Amino acid sequence: MKFLARRPQKETSEKKKKSMLREWIEAVIFAVVTATLIRTFLFEAFMIPSPSMEKTLLINDYIFVSKLSYGPRIPNTPLALPFTQARMPLFPNMKPYSTAVLWPYKRLPGFGKVQRGDVVVFNLPVGDTVLTSKSGNDVDYYRELHPEKFPSPDIRPIDKRATWIKRCIGLPGDTLEINAGIVYINHLPLDPPEYSQRPYFLFDNECKGLPDSLVTKFEIDSNSFQMRGDSTKFRYYFTQVVARKLRQLGYHIEPVIHSADRDSRIFPRDFEHLYNEDFFGPIIIPKKGLTIALDTSNIILYARAIATYEHNTVDTSSNVIMINAAPASSYTFKMDYYWMMGDNRHFSEDSRFWGFLPEDHVMGKATMIWLSYDKSSIRWRRFFNLIK
């Protein structure tokens, strides 16, 4: 019996050689998919745009944010163009995402939970809003300041809201209070971060202030000035380390503390709570499963969380608090909440202005600076510094 060997066909008859264009398209698709998965589930790069975290983080510090630290968050808007946020580049009036499909909040397992002292990147609660109108509706913060530029609020899905960075000061279930600029957690004073700065008054009878040599040596913030009406009094921003060194050099400095007067910008923006940046609370930070007694004096502190973040109806128009059309004297929270503050605490719009941060707004933990520059040079010494 003879077996006839099958003659191999030419490879060109089975496979057609890919064109260069097709190879480029496949490479680009692979790169986009890979980068998107990395940004969603592993880490993402961000740039620091404001001085609210100085001197821990400086303007034009580029940082990596770990998504694995608290568990990657599944996107709310799966139908979105990669590498975009709320607006299309070059087309600001066009949204690069669709709300036809919205996924509920879900977080995959991570290395742990938010800890006190972590520097956290998050989506600003309730769209870009931090204020409410007289009727109780959410109002865009920048619209309140510049109504000519923002004729209507822009309420976005959570993962498309403005991205902010602050330090976690209070954890779920904590009692928080600020007294004369000192933060107390569960009635114990909290040490400020090592490189945080705050305003100080420097008193100099010679009316000269600090010499340029010390300003340069200690990298003192340029936002300083001589007080009007008192030529011997200067206002500077110092870290604790710099303040201690200046005192050792014989300079008379004192921290700037706001008086205990009400600031209408401060959460919850009512007339009963006489809060400001340096005097606030005490308040209890909501925790999942925690039941808090409600009355007419504290409902305003928690109404936003109950209604906006946990999707209930709240009616406080009468002396009886109504939640979902039923009288309520207490509420059990469904999520954990956090209290965020900037390290530059007199130059930071944080939880003191907009309240509690819900867990579903947390994106990840700031871990490392990978690039940094100022107006004139690259800050080489900040490269690959861990964020503490």
Pairing type for strands 362-372 and 252-255 reads unpaired
Give buried/exposed letters for 132-147 (b at 16+ CB in 10 A, else e): beeeeebbbbbbeeee
Q: What is the pLDDT of residue 305?
A: 94
- What is the fold, at CATH topology level, of the domain defined by 32-174+285-290+333-386? Umud Fragment, subunit A (2.10.109)
Q: What is the pLDDT of residue 8?
A: 55
- For domain 197-255, the CATH class is alpha beta
pTM of the model: 0.86
Residue 285's pLDDT band, with cuts at 50, 70 and 90, is very high
Identity of the residue numbered 168: C
The ranges assigned to domains in the chain are 32-174+285-290+333-386, 197-255
Give buried/exposed letters for 59-93 (b at 16+ CB in 10 A, else e): bbbbbbbbbbbbbbbebbbeebeeeebbeeeeeee
pLDDT digits (tens, 9 = 90+) for 63-77: 999 999 999 999 999
| Strand, helix or coil for residue 66 | strand
pLDDT digits (tens, 9 = 90+) for 148-188: 666 666 678 999 988 999 999 999 999 999 999 999 999 99
Rounded to whole angstroms, how far apart are CA atoms 72 and 99? 21
DSSP count for the chain of H helices, then E strands: 7, 23
